[in-house]
Structure 1
Amino acid sequence: MFNQYILKIALISSSLITSVIATPLIANELAQDSDLVEQQTDEKNIDKSTKSSPEVLNVWGKRLSANEPGYTSPESLLLPSDMVGINAITTEDLVKYEPSLVIRRRFIGDANGTIGIRSANMFQTARSMVFADGVPLHYYLESRWSGAPRWTMVSASEIAQVSVLYGPFSAQYGGNAMGGVINIETEIPQEREFNADLSMFTQQAKAYDFDEDVSGYKTFVSFGDKVNNLSYYVSFNHLDNDAQPQTFRSASASGSDQQSSKTGGSAGVDSRNRDVYWYGDTGIVTSQTNNYKVKIGYQQSNWQALFNLAYEDRSSDNVGQSYIRDATGNKVYSANNEVINGTMFSFNSSGLNDSHLLRESLSLGLRLKVELSDDIELEANINQFDILKDETRTSALHPNDPAFNGNGKITDYDDSGWTTGDVTVTVSDFIIPRINLLSGIRHEDYQLNLNVYNTDDYLAGDKQNYSSSFGGETQLNAIFAQLNWSDDKRWDMTLGLRYEQFESSNGYYSEVNKAINQLELVAAPSVEYKKTSPKFTIGYYPADKWLVRYSIAKAYRFPIVEELFRQYQAYNSINESNPNLAPENGFHQNLMLNRDLDGGYVRVNLFYDQIDDAIESQSTTIIGGINDGTNLSTFVPLDKTETKGAEFIFNQANVGIDGLDLRFNMTYTHARITENSANPEWEGNVYPRMPKWRANLLSTYAINDDWNVSVNAQYASDVYARLQNDDIIDQVYGAADSYLLFGFKSQYMINDELKASVGIDNLTNELTYVAHPWPRRTVYLNLSYQL
């Protein structure tokens, strides 16, 4: 299988390069926008407290400096000197303090760590892009909680720099950049090196009747070297964690004068202010993740190549627990009009079932750069991602329920993954001096097949018959060109154009044939769209260290496989597919005012995003007939949404006193549903999961060359989680609370090779629900060795 993947990458890469060289797509962007270079880190950005941090970071991405505002898009950069103050166990931890960005990381090692940037909320996962060494980590097969980037394909311990681009203002990126793009670059060894990390963490978890300390650990080891022109790097990352229960179960409740001998649980209300009784939770989440990484780089005089292999092996388990006990103290797993403390409710143990996840993924990537002449460069990227195994086995009831007979369901991903590739050619001084051109092509092919089986033995994984099935393919081909001009004095300008052709194919979903009462697969229609997206940016430098830049762009975000073809029926909910779903149509503007400081900058961004046909899962309740009262959901576009916002960013080294570095940002967002014919009563509602205010603080003080301390904070105002804006109760499961979380970290260099750190997140032990409960006070201990 491995040889087949290598052959596939070689063939696609060869064809891409040949096709571009044979065409007149000669292009460039300013040197700051895309080069495989050796980055020279500014002396002021070297981490004072980590002697082992190299002064030269060898990465294979574009050259960046800490003050760079971004030529086409507003941009934020994280270097090792910034990362030192973050309690980072997994990759997504590193970006959680960046402006206008939120990571829904429910626990350490969460497989559903979704991302939201600017006007894209944390469930609009197809509106953000994440790359590591040019390899996509974003997951465009599914959306919402299932569409989180595959963060674990890169370890936090190997990252050299992270940049965040905001909005789709560069022609190099398609409509999936409506929110923004995260580009991660890892270090490439230039000499023999060995690294080892050991991290341990523990959390004081408490919510409803759950009250336990849960803990975990991470181990990381890597080895790399450079032999003549060949660089190689191998690493192993293991994460093992027990996390707090993620779901708390409740049943509709009413008052009663009856008496009962049973105890446990609690009466209350849910996020929509409905009377409920909280009777249990889904149990501690025990997860293990192993990541194996190989990077091989080769450099000749006029070309460079980087091969990247990442393999993920992940498993997780959780079994629910009931809070209800009988007179003898035994747990109760079902109740019919049970009364406790004057509250009547009914439930069974289907919500307390047992769940086991087994997942294996393989990602192969190849980056190639060729200097065709002094002014012309070619860069190619190709990626093959395959879900080798992704199976979730769940029981129908709690295994200890007397009514349980071993049956359940198995969810299985079959023949799913993607292939992506792009080639860009860059030219400096195109036709005349100070005009540069960036141009290229990109291909993306996604395939998803998801089957749900009934089983008589969920633990053995026996698959009997289909419960539901859906899948299909999407394909995107794009060509883009972007002209950049600067007079080297007061003005610069960018003019870009992106043409995209999208097609869905081989779509299918299951439905019951009522004549024979059997499940059948139904072919879904295909769609094809062709869209052109213009981009324009103009910058003015009114005085030394000042910059005013205005950017405007159109963007189209095409639907993903799940949004087109997902269809199922389970219990009291039905999801209907929508294979004719149109792309989201975005109009984006950004006005930036930037002032460079000695060792930093102050920046203000005013942004406006208007999205027509915004894809959302909309729901209605069926009235009458056999499905009376059933919740019917489908991906239906909101006719128009509008987001207005303002960002204030202050990043500065040596603030007030030598050794104190500060990163502070604050964002105001006004997001509304302005038109919606499917549910007109929602017009004027606040867009879900979009806080009006959010702010982040990351500060680090170097006490001396060996010791630093950091204090950080995250704030977000209260939000709605539902389009209906009817979830009005806070501090309950399902709510979307405001939060103010403080953190601390201190790191000490024991010697040139060994360093230790201690940290705390959620210092005040705040209980916060963002639908699920976020971690409470968590203490970290870390020991790192670098040779």
Structure 2
Amino acid sequence: MTTHRLSTSPWRLGAIALATAALSLPARAQGVATDQQLAPVLVTGSGVRNGLAADVPSNSASKTAEDLREQNLFNPEDALKYVPNTSIRKRYIGDRNSMIGGRSFGTLQPSRGLAYVDGYLISNFLGRFDGPRWNMITPEAIARVDVLYGPFSAIYPGNSIGTTVVTTEREPRAFEASARITGYRQRFELYGDANDYDGHQLSAFVGSRLDSGLWYSLSANRQNSTSQPMNYQTVTANAAGVFPAVTGAAVPVTGIQYDEDPKGLKRAVFGASGGAIDHTVQDTLKLKLGFEFTPEIVASAMLGGWTNDTRNSNRSFLRDAAGATVWSGRVTDGTHTFNVPLSAFAPSNRDETHRHGGITLKTKYATGWNGSIVYSNYRIVSDIARQANLPEDQAANGGAGSWTRRDGTGWNTFEMQAAYRPSEGDFTGGRHALTFGVHRNAYLLDSPTTNATDWRVTETTLSQRYHGRSEVTALYAQDAWKLQEDLTLTLGLRHERYVTRDGEQLLRVASCTAAAGVSCMDNGDGSFNRVLAYPERRLSGSSPKASISWRADEDLLLKASLGRGVRFPNVEELYNGTFTASSQTQSDPNLRAERSNALELSAEKDWEMHRLRVSIFHDDVRDAILRQSDNTVTPSVTRVSNVDRVKTRGLEIVWQTQDWLLRGLSLDANAAFANSKVTANAADPASVGKYWLRVPKVRANLLAAYRPSRDWMGSLGIRHSGRAYNDTYNLDIHPDVYGGVSSFTFVDLRGSVKITPQLELALGVDNVADSRGYQAHPYPGRTFFTELRASY
């Protein structure tokens, strides 16, 4: 067992002292960071300002429910479309794995993005490409979304070294109800294949607050959507333009498409493969209850459920002389001959049931001491992914395949916090706004794969499995110290202890030899289960923070922030050892924690009708965790490793204005410029000096909304993402194709009218010009929306 720890005595004494202090308060709570830091939205002539409390060291961006009705929003993560310096890898409408990319990290590092809803963690640090569980948020229930940048607050876990997204749902003040129905359709064409893909969604909210102090809300969401093709079966030629040799008789076919891959190599494309077209039906139901024991002492509870029924299909471009579809085997177009594997166009299904519960006890005294206790538990009740081994035409009647389960997997969090807020204008004994807390989160991942004689209904023998647990426990303290009325120094320290245990990989093999850490189990059928068990690991890290803000003028705020964050590897990064006919994953059980030292200098200026923020940021990450896939080999290989050092320097400009050029016109514009490069990597010197993956050099957004009256609204949105790389050595010189990470500019339109005070109709278009963009997978084409919303 490898250890790196603090001495036991101070840790335990500190935890006991802090817990005693918090519990000795008269049940006064302010909530965890995602609740404690939120303040009412300030509305001025320049529109909606940052909604976070003044002592938050991080710069931030905010969107209210009213703001979100000025843009096309189908899934909850669409709220982040126009947020400064933020990327969301939403491949298609209904995507369950929309991952966050930020200032210094791309969507290959999803564990640098934290996500909360009402103070409950929904970050899904379990799978290879598992985004936050946005599905636990009902679009119609969203009250506001806040985005924080960088590891500058001691209140947030180490994963906040990137971006933290805080969603707050509505709490009813009286009886209220609302619902909306949304439909969409897109026409998508690529490689000569053109089809329509559509879907719809119903989102509803009802709630009330009773005279007894009890309040309740029930929110529901149902969506039925179909994606455009996500993946394509390809064969790539070598640098001389020669495809791999294939011998034997081949079926003459038409339909093979040719292009160049991201590295500029000639490529043949045979069709949409790998479960390319995703038809998903998702249902979310959430009940929330709250009770005010007194106006200052409150409790709340939440229980939510989400189900997903997914059917993934494929589409072959190949046709024989009779016009019949060809799904596999040796094929030729008269010029080249190829071998299409049986598994290339194999379909798959997935059925999931998830549960999320949480309890909060807190107080809300305006000044003085407050405290909170928050517990949440996210559990994957059942999750079965069924994969066929045979192509569509044969798999429709059954045949061999595999099942992968994640039943019982999930995470839980616990937070206890005490906070002190001085009285307004008290500069004698009340200069310090204090926050102390204890935090714990624990993740469990268990992912067995079994063989199936009939991939649809019959699983048989265990073929592989990976398993593991991780746990982070933290103590933190933060002080916003008002040195004088216009000068505040915020100091923080967070210390985290990390344990990972029960790490295990199992693989069914033909022969096995026992060794240190390796055991062999005879299955009695000529095969063995080779089990590789990993020792428990203990790591720790401290994260000091410092930020000073100076109100140089009534309308000018200057801020300098310095912070360290420590992001520990997640279970999947350590223990995943998945092998399939088309891919394999090679994780590293000895991964080191990522350590980010970040600096930000910013100036924020308000005028009567304008608000401008300019920020310069620098992020120096040591032992950055890189996930890189090699798709030029079969099976493709994904490797996880540490990179010694990555530095990112950048500039952000955020501008908002209201009623400047035209009464009723609001403009929200932002631009970010980043230079992110590997500066040291002893294990792979050739990567030094190369751009870090999937961090665009430029990100820019514009959202212009015009309201000529209270009943009409029209908006124009522009989203731009500049050059980025998807290859460690930046060899992807031709990024504007399938498999590349392209630059793109998407233009969106929306218009709405209130038919009555309670009924609103909206029409919209995303990607008006039908521009093609890629984040390895192709982004959606031109998509039309209709929406009808009723409220009471």
SS at match of 2:699: strand
Q: Does 1:110 align with 2:95?
A: yes
Query: Which residue of structure 1 lines up, in the alignment, with residue 316 of structure 2?
Result: 322
SS at match of 1:568: coil
Q: Does 1:700 align with 2:705?
A: yes
SS at match of 2:756: coil
Seen in structure 2, the aligned counterparts of structure 1 residues 653 and 401 have a Cα distance that, compared at 3 Å, is same
Query: Which residue of structure 2 lines up, in the alignment, with residue 176 of structure 1?
Result: 159
- Answer whether contact 1:270 1:729 (CA < 8 A) is retained: yes
SS at match of 1:567: coil
Amino acid at match of 1:490: D
Q: TM-score, normalised by structure 2?
A: 0.89
Give the alignment of 1:20-99 within 5 angstroms. Answer: 20-22=21-23, 35=36, 39=40, 42=43, 65=50, 71-99=56-84
- Answer whether contact 1:27 1:424 (CA < 8 A) is retained: no
Query: Which residue of structure 2 lines up, in the alignment, with residue 471 of structure 1?
Result: 467
Q: In 2, Cα distance between the equivalents of 1:550 and 1:276? A: 50
- Answer whether contact 2:28 2:362 (CA < 8 A) is retained: no
- Give the gaps of 5 or more residues in structure 1: 1-14, 48-63, 623-627
- Answer whether contact 1:277 1:345 (CA < 8 A) is retained: no
Seen in structure 2, the aligned counterparts of structure 1 residues 67 and 525 have a Cα distance that, compared at 3 Å, is closer
Query: Which residue of structure 2 lines up, in the alignment, with residue 365 of structure 1?
Result: 358
Q: In 2, Cα distance between the equivalents of 1:292 and 1:394? A: 28
Seen in structure 2, the aligned counterparts of structure 1 residues 678 and 685 have a Cα distance that, compared at 3 Å, is same
- Answer whether contact 1:554 1:588 (CA < 8 A) is retained: yes
1:121 deviation in Å? 0.9
Seen in structure 2, the aligned counterparts of structure 1 residues 572 and 752 have a Cα distance that, compared at 3 Å, is closer
Q: Does 1:119 align with 2:119?
A: no
Seen in structure 2, the aligned counterparts of structure 1 residues 18 and 31 have a Cα distance that, compared at 3 Å, is closer
Q: In 1, Cα distance between the equivalents of 2:415 and 2:395? A: 57
Q: TM-score, normalised by structure 1?
A: 0.90
1:26 deviation in Å? 13
Q: In 2, Cα distance between the equivalents of 1:711 and 1:554? A: 38
1:400 deviation in Å? 1.0
Query: Which residue of structure 2 lines up, in the alignment, with residue 541 of structure 1?
Result: 551
Q: In 1, Cα distance between the equivalents of 2:250 and 2:634? A: 31
Query: Which residue of structure 1 lines up, in the alignment, with residue 117 of structure 2?
Result: 132
- Alignment partner for residue 498 of structure 1, among 494, 506, 511? 494
Query: Which residue of structure 2 lines up, in the alignment, with residue 243 of structure 1?
Result: 227
SS at match of 1:93: helix
Query: Which residue of structure 2 lines up, in the alignment, with residue 51 of structure 1?
Result: none
Q: Does 1:204 align with 2:187?
A: yes
Query: Which residue of structure 1 lines up, in the alignment, with residue 257 of structure 2?
Result: 266
- Alignment partner for residue 221 of structure 1, among 193, 204, 227? 204
* Identity, % of aligned positions: 26
Amino acid at match of 1:578: D
Amino acid at match of 2:58: S
SS at match of 2:565: strand
Seen in structure 2, the aligned counterparts of structure 1 residues 572 and 747 have a Cα distance that, compared at 3 Å, is closer
Q: In 2, Cα distance between the equivalents of 1:26 and 1:616? A: 44
Q: Does 1:233 align with 2:226?
A: no
Give the alignment of 1:129-528 within 5 angstroms. Answer: 129-143=114-128, 145=129, 147-228=130-211, 229-252=213-236, 254=242, 261-282=252-273, 283-301=276-294, 302-336=296-330, 338-340=331-333, 342-370=335-363, 374-401=367-394, 406-429=399-422, 432-460=429-457, 462-511=458-507, 512=509, 513-515=511-513, 517-528=527-538
Q: In 2, Cα distance between the equivalents of 1:31 and 1:560? A: 22
- Answer whether contact 2:42 2:51 (CA < 8 A) is retained: no
- Answer whether contact 1:407 1:458 (CA < 8 A) is retained: yes
1:542 deviation in Å? 2.2
Bigger drift between 433-442 and 370-379 goes to 370-379
Q: In 2, Cα distance between the equivalents of 1:721 and 1:590? A: 27
Seen in structure 2, the aligned counterparts of structure 1 residues 40 and 263 have a Cα distance that, compared at 3 Å, is closer
Seen in structure 2, the aligned counterparts of structure 1 residues 340 and 544 have a Cα distance that, compared at 3 Å, is same
Q: How many residues align?
A: 748
Q: In 1, Cα distance between the equivalents of 2:31 and 2:551? A: 17
- Answer whether contact 1:201 1:779 (CA < 8 A) is retained: yes
SS at match of 2:732: coil
Q: In 2, Cα distance between the equivalents of 1:423 and 1:117? A: 29
Seen in structure 2, the aligned counterparts of structure 1 residues 42 and 30 have a Cα distance that, compared at 3 Å, is farther
Cα-to-partner distance string for 1:180-220 (whole Å, 9 max, x where unaligned):
21111111111111212111110011111421111110012
SS at match of 2:441: strand
Bigger drift between 774-783 and 115-124 goes to 115-124
Bigger drift between 227-236 and 258-267 goes to 258-267
Cα-to-partner distance string for 1:522-562 (whole Å, 9 max, x where unaligned):
22111101211110001122222111110001111011000
1:394 deviation in Å? 1.0
Q: In 2, Cα distance between the equivalents of 1:566 and 1:485? A: 45
Seen in structure 2, the aligned counterparts of structure 1 residues 155 and 762 have a Cα distance that, compared at 3 Å, is same
- Answer whether contact 1:209 1:265 (CA < 8 A) is retained: no
SS at match of 1:92: helix
Q: In 2, Cα distance between the equivalents of 1:498 and 1:322? A: 54
- Answer whether contact 1:45 1:79 (CA < 8 A) is retained: no
Amino acid at match of 1:436: A
Bigger drift between 396-405 and 359-368 goes to 396-405
- Answer whether contact 1:29 1:483 (CA < 8 A) is retained: no
Amino acid at match of 2:119: G
Query: Which residue of structure 2 lines up, in the alignment, with residue 724 of structure 1?
Result: 729
Q: In 2, Cα distance between the equivalents of 1:16 and 1:384? A: 26
1:571 deviation in Å? 3.3
Q: Does 1:595 align with 2:577?
A: no
Seen in structure 2, the aligned counterparts of structure 1 residues 600 and 361 have a Cα distance that, compared at 3 Å, is farther
SS at match of 2:573: helix
- Give the gaps of 5 or more residues in structure 2: 1-15, 514-521
Q: In 1, Cα distance between the equivalents of 2:38 and 2:160? A: 24
Query: Which residue of structure 2 lines up, in the alignment, with residue 101 of structure 1?
Result: 86
Cα-to-partner distance string for 1:633-675 (whole Å, 9 max, x where unaligned):
4321001111111100001222222111111000000000111
Bigger drift between 638-647 and 478-487 goes to 478-487
Amino acid at match of 2:78: D
Q: In 2, Cα distance between the equivalents of 1:30 and 1:334? A: 57
- Answer whether contact 2:583 2:634 (CA < 8 A) is retained: no
- Answer whether contact 1:251 1:346 (CA < 8 A) is retained: no
Query: Which residue of structure 1 lines up, in the alignment, with residue 785 of structure 2?
Result: 780
Q: In 1, Cα distance between the equivalents of 2:18 and 2:714? A: 49
- Answer whether contact 2:18 2:438 (CA < 8 A) is retained: no
Amino acid at match of 2:434: L
1:335 deviation in Å? 3.3
1:414 deviation in Å? 2.8
Seen in structure 2, the aligned counterparts of structure 1 residues 66 and 562 have a Cα distance that, compared at 3 Å, is closer
Amino acid at match of 1:533: S
Cα-to-partner distance string for 1:344-401 (whole Å, 9 max, x where unaligned):
3221231211110111100001222125895110122211000011111010021314
1:17 deviation in Å? 10
Amino acid at match of 1:649: V
- Answer whether contact 1:26 1:425 (CA < 8 A) is retained: no
- Answer whether contact 1:355 1:392 (CA < 8 A) is retained: yes
Amino acid at match of 1:92: E
Bigger drift between 592-601 and 157-166 goes to 592-601
SS at match of 1:353: coil
Q: In 1, Cα distance between the equivalents of 2:380 and 2:400? A: 26
Seen in structure 2, the aligned counterparts of structure 1 residues 579 and 24 have a Cα distance that, compared at 3 Å, is farther
Seen in structure 2, the aligned counterparts of structure 1 residues 203 and 458 have a Cα distance that, compared at 3 Å, is same
Query: Which residue of structure 1 lines up, in the alignment, with residue 8 of structure 2?
Result: none
Seen in structure 2, the aligned counterparts of structure 1 residues 482 and 18 have a Cα distance that, compared at 3 Å, is closer
- Alignment partner for residue 764 of structure 2, among 759, 782, 787? 759
